[in-house]
Amino acid sequence: MLEIYFTKQKRTIEAKEGETIREAAIKGKISIYPHVFKILNCRGRGHCHSCAIEIVSGTTNPKNEIENQQLTKKLIKKPNLRLACQVRVSDNMVIKTHV
């Protein structure tokens, strides 16, 4: 099992290799969605970009086309932004949510 540390929540959860950060967060009862997006989100399809996170440390798969399209403007200021629903866990990570 791998570990993901969420800085805002000050919690570490275990994650299986290959699952998305979103899936791991839901299992670990950590909310990655801000405000009303806790209810109104795309359920992991990458369309709403409300699960944007910042990868503080840990290696990840490269950004895919969905992330590049959804985060185009935000990536200029924060190049480490990713969508939690698109990043597969392959390493221990430190994550900043609600960015």
| pLDDT 10s digits, 49-80 | 899 999 999 999 999 999 999 998 888 888 88
CA distance 75 to 79: 5
Please tell me whether residue 76 adopts helix, strand or coil conformation.
Answer: helix
- Any idea which residue has 């590049």 for tokens? 68
- What number does CATH give the domain 2-96? 3.10.20.30
- Look at residue 13 in the predicted model and tell me its pLDDT: 98
CA distance 47 to 67: 9
| pLDDT 10s digits, 10-50 | 999 999 999 999 999 999 999 998 887 878 889 889 988 89
pTM exceeding the 0.75 threshold for the entire prediction = yes
Q: Where are the chain's structural domains?
A: 2-96
CA atoms within 13 Å, Cβ hemisphere of 83: 22
State the DSSP H helix or E strand holding residue 66, giving kind and residue range, or none if neither: helix 65-70
